[in-house]
């Protein structure tokens, strides 16, 4: 059985979608990419993507291990923060999918008992997700919550559409899955995590995941229950922070669990079409007992208008 702890399958098509005019959101900066100072140049070249790790989820399409070649690109050092996303919203007036629909998925530990009693819609396969009215990027736990003390945390409750709109405004783009995995590996070959094969080297926590008993007790031994600031923990060898844990990150590729093996692939961009987009890196909700997807080869997927309290993104750009 696939342990689908993470992004709940969202059925929002009961709400008529408005066309989003991304054309009005084109980059208005005369200096090029926004927040370019926080981007790092990746040299590109060949690397081994995917894994044959016995811990991997075969049904997710984590394998086979395959050679991939990439051209150089820029990548954000950190996930996009609440502060950056607010800048985008203030300049453009953009309305996120969660705001248009009027709700988003919030993890049960962040929903008050009083609020739970009034919520009818709980995801059956993953009952720890509550459909909370008013939950959105600036109210992560519902209308009465705020991001005031979390401006340097990753923005969440953003759909793939929202991430695309932000990228368009900032003159950037989402990473392909291959770029994401190349960057996350930090130059290490076929290691489990961005820093090596040991989850807590010398007993030290290196990413924001779940400790305790999922989904009821998060001990927060890594310092955080819920999101952490985007610069928490040490970066990988490429200088990138929180490539695994903290929040899932949207990629540009449509999802498939079938890949070509052996033949080297150059700048893969995923299938031409699909139903769901790839997400990478796992989140603060991942635990070895259930959703061991905070490994660099791990992957999951969700629909383009889905949003949750544990999905965000970072940007890339062409050189
Ligand atoms: Ca944690």
Cα–Cα nearest to 101, from 191, 209, 5, 20 = 20
Cβ burial of 27 (10 Å; 0-12, 13-18, 19+) is middle
Q: How far is the CA of 15 from the centre of ligand 1 (A)?
A: 34
pLDDT tens, the chain, 319 aa long: 456 666 565 666 544 444 444 433 444 444 478 888 899 999 999 999 999 999 999 999 999 999 999 999 999 999 999 999 999 999 999 999 999 999 999 999 999 998 888 887 777 788 899 999 999 999 999 999 999 999 999 999 999 999 999 999 999 999 999 999 999 999 999 999 999 999 999 999 999 999 999 999 999 999 999 999 999 999 999 999 999 999 999 999 999 999 977 788 999 999 999 999 999 999 999 998 888 999 999 999 999 999 999 999 999 999 9
Query: What count of Cα atoms within 13 Å lies in the side-chain half-sphere of residue 245?
Result: 33
Using the Cα atoms of residue 76, residue 82, residue 87 and residue 93 in order, give the sign of their dihedral: positive
Q: How far is the CA of 171 from the centre of ligand 1 (A)?
A: 32
Q: How far is the CA of 157 from the centre of ligand 1 (A)?
A: 18
Q: How far is the CA of 225 from the centre of ligand 1 (A)?
A: 5
pTM: 0.93
Residue 6 has a pLDDT of: 64
Mapped onto helix, strand or coil, the DSSP state of residue 297 is coil
Q: How far is the CA of 295 from the centre of ligand 1 (A)?
A: 15
Residue 17 has a pLDDT of: 44
Dist. CA 164–CA 104, nearest whole Å: 18
Residue 31 has a pLDDT of: 47
CB neighbour list of residue 198: distance below 8 Å, 6 or more residues apart: none
| DSSP conformational letter for 177 | H
156: tokens are 């969440």
Residue 261 has a pLDDT of: 72
Dist. CA 30–CA 77, nearest whole Å: 22
Q: How far is the CA of 219 from the centre of ligand 1 (A)?
A: 8
Q: How far is the CA of 292 from the centre of ligand 1 (A)?
A: 14
Residue 22 has a pLDDT of: 40
Q: How far is the CA of 212 from the centre of ligand 1 (A)?
A: 10
Q: How far is the CA of 25 from the centre of ligand 1 (A)?
A: 35
Q: How many residues does the chain have?
A: 319
Q: How far is the CA of 210 from the centre of ligand 1 (A)?
A: 5
Dist. CA 85–CA 95, nearest whole Å: 11
Strand extents, DSSP E, the chain: 39-42, 45-49, 66-70, 73-76, 103-107, 129-133, 173-174, 212-213, 217-218, 248-254, 265-266, 277-280, 299-302, 311-312, 315-318
Q: How far is the CA of 294 from the centre of ligand 1 (A)?
A: 12
Q: How far is the CA of 218 from the centre of ligand 1 (A)?
A: 7
Q: How far is the CA of 274 from the centre of ligand 1 (A)?
A: 32
Dist. CA 239–CA 43, nearest whole Å: 13
Cα–Cα nearest to 256, from 190, 177, 161 = 177
Percentages helix, strand, coil for the chain, rounded to the nearest 5? 20, 20, 60
Asked whether 184 and 244 are in contact (CB, 8 A), the reply is: yes
Q: How far is the CA of 271 from the centre of ligand 1 (A)?
A: 33
Q: How far is the CA of 72 from the centre of ligand 1 (A)?
A: 33
Q: Which residues pair with 266 in a beta bridge?
A: 69
Q: How far is the CA of 45 from the centre of ligand 1 (A)?
A: 34
List, edge to edge, every strand of the sheet that includes 173-174. Answer: 39-42, 73-76, 315-318, 173-174
Residue 12 has a pLDDT of: 62
| Helix/strand number for the chain, H first, E second | 5, 15
Q: How far is the CA of 287 from the centre of ligand 1 (A)?
A: 10
Asked whether 247 and 284 are in contact (CB, 8 A), the reply is: yes
Q: How far is the CA of 85 from the centre of ligand 1 (A)?
A: 23
Residue 231 has a pLDDT of: 98
Q: Which residues pair with 67 in a beta bridge?
A: 48
Q: How far is the CA of 211 from the centre of ligand 1 (A)?
A: 7
Q: How far is the CA of 288 from the centre of ligand 1 (A)?
A: 13
Residue 13 has a pLDDT of: 55
Asked whether 102 and 18 are in contact (CB, 8 A), the reply is: no
Q: How far is the CA of 208 from the centre of ligand 1 (A)?
A: 4
Q: How far is the CA of 93 from the centre of ligand 1 (A)?
A: 33
Q: How far is the CA of 308 from the centre of ligand 1 (A)?
A: 17
């Amino acid at each position: 059985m696939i342990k689908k702890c993470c992004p709940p399958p969202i059925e929002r098509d009961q709400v008529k979608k408005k066309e989003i005019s991304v054309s009005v959101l084109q980059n208005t900066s005369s200096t090029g990419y926004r927040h370019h100072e926080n981007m790092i140049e990746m040299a590109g070249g060949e690397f081994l993507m995917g894994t044959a790790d016995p811990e991997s989820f075969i049904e997710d399409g984590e394998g086979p291990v395959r050679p991939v070649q990439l051209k150089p690109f820029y990548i954000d050092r950190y996930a996009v923060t609440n502060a950056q996303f607010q800048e985008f919203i203030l300049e453009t007036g953009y309305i996120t999918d969660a705001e248009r629909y009027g709700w988003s998925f919030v993890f049960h530990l962040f929903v008050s008992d009083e609020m739970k009693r009034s919520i009818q819609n709980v995801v059956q396969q993953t009952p720890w997700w509550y459909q909370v009215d008013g939950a959105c990027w600036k109210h992560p736990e519902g209308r009465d919550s705020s991001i005031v003390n979390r401006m340097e945390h990753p923005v969440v409750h953003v759909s793939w559409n929202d991430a695309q709109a932000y990228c368009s405004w900032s003159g950037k783009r989402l990473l392909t899955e291959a770029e994401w995995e190349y960057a996350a590996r930090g130059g290490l070959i076929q290691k489990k995590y961005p820093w090596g094969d040991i989850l807590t080297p010398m007993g030290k926590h290196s990413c924001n995941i779940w400790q305790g008993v999922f989904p009821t007790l998060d001990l927060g031994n890594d310092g955080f229950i819920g999101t952490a600031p985007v610069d928490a923990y040490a970066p990988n060898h490429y200088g990138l922070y929180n490539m695994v844990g903290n929040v899932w990150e949207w990629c540009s590729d449509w999802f498939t669990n079938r890949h070509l093996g052996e033949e080297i692939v150059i700048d893969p961009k995923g299938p031409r079409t699909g139903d769901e987009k790839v997400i990478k890196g796992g989140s603060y909700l991942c635990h070895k007992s259930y959703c061991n997807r905070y490994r660099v080869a791990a992957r999951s997927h969700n629909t383009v208008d889905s949003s949750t309290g544990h999905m965000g993104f970072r940007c890339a750009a062409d050189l």
